[in-house]
Amino acid sequence: NMKTTTLVATALHIAATLAAVPGFDISHYQGTVNFNGAYSSGARFVIIKATEGTTYTDPKFSDNYVGATNAGFIRGAYHFARPDGGSGTTQAQFFHSHGGGWSGDGITLPGMLDIEYGPTSTCYGLSTTAMVNWITDFVNEYHALTTRYPLIYTTNDWWNTCTGNTNKFSTTCPLVLARYSSSVGTIPGGWPFQTIWQFNDQYAYGGDSDTFNGNAANLKKLATG
């Protein structure tokens, strides 16, 4: 019966909304971030830019990490991948030694590999095979250094274009999917679902708006491993 179907659909939507945990991600481009305001509004996690390539460290990383910690967030770091400048292995090492490490303290997310459209070219001059190999090297080195697999941040279009839509990481690396829309859209790479959805590049307290696909206990589990 139609009425029952509608009620069930509504209940499922409410349940899904309740299970989501708000969060955000930031880099030095944001300037000042209002961590206490964000926490008061219900946000519970923040992902902070630490590094890019093999030489760049975000000048606000330390301030942001301390600010996030003091405000009570579960927090983690991210690395902006530059496959045109240094191997995946080297970049994982650089990230790990400049803020991208992990500890089982219950408030640290595994590091995130931000791999997307490049400032030089969409796929950084790499074939899909070479790109998959680069990501594999980064992922394996990060796992060797931390015992955790990194989160992978990307878009459906980039993943299809530059990796040939490989599903190689779908069972190990949680997906952070960027899509600025009212729905998450097509999920690439054989991932069964997104772990985090970046749905807007505006956030009232600084940075981009994210939502964690689960409840607070699931978020804690992602942090602790």
In this structure, the number of other CB atoms found within 10 A of the CB of residue 8 comes to 10
Please state, in angstroms and as integers, the Cα–Cα distance from residue 192 to each residue in 5, 84, 137, 151, 167, following that order: 25, 30, 23, 14, 10
Is 25 an active-site residue? yes
Residues in the chain: 225
Structure letter (DSSP) for residue 111: P
Cα(170)–Cα(149) distance, integer angstroms = 11
Residue identified by tokens 């790479």 is 189
Q: Indicate which residue of 25, 114, 208, 210 is catalytic.
A: 25
Among candidate residues 63, 84, 116, 157, the one labeled active-site is 116
Residue with tokens 């839509």: 165
Structure-block tokens of residue 98: 């400049």
Catalytic (active site) residue 52? no
Structure tokens at 42: 């219900």
The number of helix segments (H) and strand segments (E) in the chain equals 7, 9
Q: Is 70 exposed, middle or buried (0-12, 13-18, 19+ CB in 10 A)?
A: exposed
Active site residues: 25, 116
